[in-house]
Amino acid sequence: MIAVVAILANVIGVLTTWAHEKVAWPMRAARTARLTFEQVRTGKRSVWDLAKTVASTVGAIAVLVVLMFPIYWIFAASLSEGAGLMSTDGVFADPSTYNLDAYRWVLFESAFPSALLNSLIVVFVTVSVSMSVVIPGAYALSRHEFRGRKKILYGYVLFTQVGAGLSIATLIALYVLFVNFGLSNNLLVLGLFYAAGAIPFNTWLLKTFMDNIPISYEEAAVIDGASRWQVIREVILPLSKPGIAVVLVFTFLAGWNEFIVAQTLLRPENYTLSVELYALATSGQYDTPWTQFSAFAILFAMPVALIYFFAQSYVESGLSFGGMEG
């Protein structure tokens, strides 16, 4: 009960901070614009500098609009009437026909709920196993010298660079191996397989991040009487939050978005969301129910967007603080 209350308190705190930042954004923009024009008026900035700033801002907004157009198009298609992606009058359906029928079908009449449960099982196994190996492994490789350390590091680099190509080349052999051992159509085994693939790269990533944490912080804690476990819990883990957030997002994506291996090993009763989405696209003999497909795709992508949205500050600092330099 206490843990649930603590989690709810953290969620409410994050939502409150986010709402405060969003509400204050127009005020900050207006204040920045006022200061900019004041600098131009007093001669601290030239008109040419202001023109370059305005042109850069317009260009960035144009790029953002181009990047977001497919998402907006899919969202608009999910609200349209019928099964088509567009009307005869343009690329968008008639707004007067927008409704939530496609979302109602996905949530209450399709296999979305069972596929969502299957995906959550796979992701839970992938994330829990990966993080239980990645964090202590990254700390050991970052802070301790032991026999075979360099060979392990070279092996990690080789596996992370070559492993992705091998996973496709050995897919048939992998399928035969899993079938012979009776491990196909098993969500827990699939989660372990994703975790095994995610551990090398993410361990290397977090190890590189921990290398940037000064050892003097740990030495100061030891001098103050902290044990090794207290140093890890109260010094290393708090300072590694951005790196851990990056690893957590990458690991989640490894289990949530993967399609090829899941399509090969799972049968329809255990389909994950990515496989169920593909099955929906190919279910029609002569056509595809695009509005239902769009609604399914929006709901499928929603958790990834929410996780990145709430972990955005940690992810940005984790990627910029030497996390990707290795």
pLDDT in tens, 55-91: 888 999 999 999 888 888 888 888 887 656 666 666 6
Q: Dump pLDDT digits (tens) for 292-326.
A: 888 999 999 988 888 877 777 666 665 555 444 44
* DSSP H or E stretch at residue 22: helix 2-42
Give the three-class secondary structure for 150. helix
pLDDT given at position 323: 44
DSSP state of 96: G
Q: Dump pLDDT digits (tens) for 4-39.
A: 555 556 556 666 666 666 666 677 777 877 787 778
Whether the pTM exceeds 0.85: the reply is: no
Residue 136 half-sphere exposure toward CB, CA atoms < 13 A: 6
Mean predicted confidence (pLDDT) in 173-178: 80
Q: Dump pLDDT digits (tens) for 84-135.
A: 666 666 667 777 778 888 899 999 998 999 999 999 999 999 999 999 999 9
Map tokens 């930042």 to a residue: 21
Cβ within 8 Å of residue 83, ≥6 positions away: 287, 288, 289, 290, 291, 292
- Check the CA dihedral 135-15-75-277 and report its sign: positive
Domains along the chain with CATH numbers: 46-98 (no CATH), 106-322 (1.10.3720.10)
